[in-house]
Structure 1
């Protein structure tokens, strides 16, 4: 499955648009991570625990989007985008979306 954040795939022709596909996940922080990241926040620097949490969430959302595209028989997803929104004080949703297409 090819993914592109543009409206095409270099060297390939889009022959059919199958529709919008998406994948999402909602992740919450945990108490242990909050304590260690809170201490790091006092000292400054990257909050690596949260970076890892969000990276894993993006990967999961992207994987779900790809599964939806594969179920439609797509060869690629173009115009791929990610968005994040706060769900609760300690939770965030990651949404990956794009357009499933067939290529020649």
Structure 2
């Protein structure tokens, strides 16, 4: 028991993603295939390769980077905007918290966060 629940089976994150994506219901009788799963979180990037064969899943490989995620993309976009502003207007706004904050809001808007 965990937290008062009777645990029948514990599955790993890549399998959970496959099930959430609906691959457990699509083409159960289909031939064996390898499917990549990418996850880009706020601070992590994960990749898993699953083999799906007749409705059964097997995790073939999984890897990730806990220091690469959506926030890193946002920060890179902010740096790009600051450099573009400097190039176009010959003014460095990198020390202006308000201006950098506006760039950050713009970056988050572009990345959907």
The answer to whether the superposition gives a TM-score over 0.5 is no
TM-score by length of 2: 0.26
Q: Which has the higher contact order (CA 8 A, sep 6+)?
A: 1
Higher strand fraction: Structure 1 or Structure 2? Answer: 1
Alignment TM-score, normalising by the size of structure 1: 0.28
Greater radius of gyration (CA): 2
